[in-house]
Amino acid sequence: MKIIFLGPPGSGKGTYASRLSPILNVPHISTGDILRENVKRETELGRTASEYMEKGKLVPDKIIISMIKERISQEDCRNGFILDGFPRTINQAKELDRITEIDAVINLAVPEDIIIKRLTARRVCEKCGAIYNILTLKPKEEGICDRCGGRLIQRKDDTEEVIKKRLEVYKETAKPIIEFYENKKKLYDIEINQADASVEEGVERILKVLKSLNEQ
Ligand code: AMP
């Protein structure tokens, strides 16, 4: 299955995608994670991208599109993939459409106050990228990753000021992307209205949508 997760930053795209990946047996591809990995390794791509990322701006389409083309052409994507954080512009959506056909687009709708609450409480593992939340998804030991023992840190762009900028960018760019997939009859809305809604419940709801597609 080829699935896209749409939704504002902090809507849970990364969390849901990482839970669904082993269930559906397809890789979870997060453009944000690929970029952060490049920033960490100080590659040329990382150096260019970090200038945009630190300000909450989008990295130029040309860079992102060639990065995703290369990624989804790899062997592990043969049976599909889950895209998280891509497409972020209508241009990216159209380019993706030229390369492959998507089965479903899950659109996570979450009110803004909940997003700000969630993102300022988000922590990520420095080593393996696992996502936690000091309010809703706490690690067993404070500041330590359950999975690999790595240190939990706050992303540089998870401060209130940068979050507001990222939400603004999302509002400007998301509408045509949502319409694009709506017209293709691929869009499925999942509304999350509670700050402490459980991840399991969200996963169940998404699986139900995907199952109904398979039965069509
Ligand atoms: P994320 O982890 O998805 O919130 O992405 C973090 C940052 O990486 C974004 O604020 C952008 O600067 C950049 N980024 C991630 N995915 C894309 C994309 N598809 N297009 C442009 N910039 C992106």
- State the pLDDT at residue 147: 96
Q: What Å distances lie between residue 3 and 16, 22, 29, 121, 141, CA to CA?
A: 12, 14, 10, 27, 33
Judged by phi (left if over 0) then psi (alpha if -120 to 50, else beta), residue 49 lies in alpha
* Cβ-based burial of 79 (10 A; exposed 0-12, middle 13-18, buried ≥19): exposed
Token pair of 105 as six digits: 């687009």
* Cβ-based burial of 30 (10 A; exposed 0-12, middle 13-18, buried ≥19): buried
> Looking at ligand 1, which atom is closest to the CA of residue 57?
12
* Peptide linkage before 87 cis (omega within 30 of 0): yes
> Looking at ligand 1, which atom is closest to the CA of residue 55?
12
Q: What is the pTM of this model?
A: 0.87
Beta bridge partners of 190: 108
Digit-coded pLDDT (tens) for 184-198: 999 999 998 776 678
CA distance 73 to 131: 26
Digit-coded pLDDT (tens) for 47-77: 999 999 998 899 999 999 999 999 999 999 9
pLDDT at position 141 over 70: yes
Active-site annotation, residues: 13, 88, 122, 155, 166
Determine which residue's CA is closest to atom 15 belonging to ligand 1. 32
